[in-house]
Amino acid sequence: MSTAVSQIDEVKTTPWSGGRSPFNVEYGKIMMWFFLLSDAFTFSSLLISYGALRFSAAVWPAADKVFQSVPGTSIDHGAPLVFVGIMTFILILSSVTMVLAVEAGHRNSRKEVVTWMILTVIGGFMFLGCQALEWNHLHHEGFWWGSTPSAEALKEFFNGGTAAAQHLTAQEFANLFFTITGFHGFHVFTGVIINIIITVNVLMGTYDKRGSYLMVEKVGLYWHFVDLVWVFVFTFFYLV
């Protein structure tokens, strides 16, 4: 009995015995992770709904026929995946510059953090610009929420199927495409805004005063998540 008392009095040091975070991560960073988890559920719901609608459809617009132009240039046909390929590489590169900013933050090197953050913001703006061109192009072809190109024009985007089925699934495609890429683009946009705010803070020396660049790491998590979502959007809209 007497040994039990002394065991209780012993100071425990295992991760889950209380007194400190078992995750060994600062509160805000844990909360960013859980926010991103909830955001992952939202994007998954959208993408899985898209998958379910597409599975149940007799025909579906062929990706290499819908996305075969390079908006902003004179190439209008026969270049599938080229434009979205550029967009994908821009986003991967801006993710790399972000992780380099985080790495510079660990060394408390303000100048380097600013350089990489500015490059990340530029990458974000370039991606948004490309997306605006892409949306504009599809909108000119007649795709939009609640509207599709004429029945005659639609034939070009399909590998067969009746006119009625083509009209129905082209509408579903347009609604899903603009909703999902729009929701992703909104995340990119807010990410760019947040990155700008953090860059200004870095320039003002906020994190030098605080003694850590953990804030750069937290917005970095958000930015990488945006890249992560794009990896899935890219596969399911442009490849599959």
Nearest distance from C-beta of residue 4 to another protein, angstroms? 28
Please identify, using beta-carbon distances, which residue of 5 and 202 lies nearer to another protein: 202
- For another protein, the closer of residues 58 and 197 by Cβ is 58
In the complex, minimum distance from the CB of residue 139 to another protein, in angstroms, rounded to a whole number: 25
Return the bridge partners of 144, or none. Answer: 147
Chain-centroid distance of CA 18 in Å reads 36
**Nearer CB in complex with another protein: 139/163:** 163
CB atoms within 10 A of CB 156: 14
Rounded-to-integer distance, Cα 129 and Cα 131, Å = 5
Distance of CA 136 to the CA centre of its chain: 20
Rounded to a whole number of angstroms, the minimum distance from the CB of residue 26 to another protein is 5
Nearer to another protein, 3 or 56 (CB): 56
List residues binding another protein (CB under 8 A). 15-16, 21-28, 30, 33-34, 37, 40-41, 44-45, 48-49, 51-53, 55-58, 64, 80-81, 85, 88-89, 92-93, 95-96, 98-100, 102-103, 106, 164-165, 168, 210-212, 214, 217, 220-221, 224-225, 227-228, 231-232, 235, 239-240
CB of 141 to another protein, least distance (A): 21
Query: Which residues make beta-bridge pairs with 147?
Result: 144
Q: Which is nearer to another protein, 8 or 34 (CB)?
A: 34
Least gap, CB of 213 to another protein (angstroms): 8
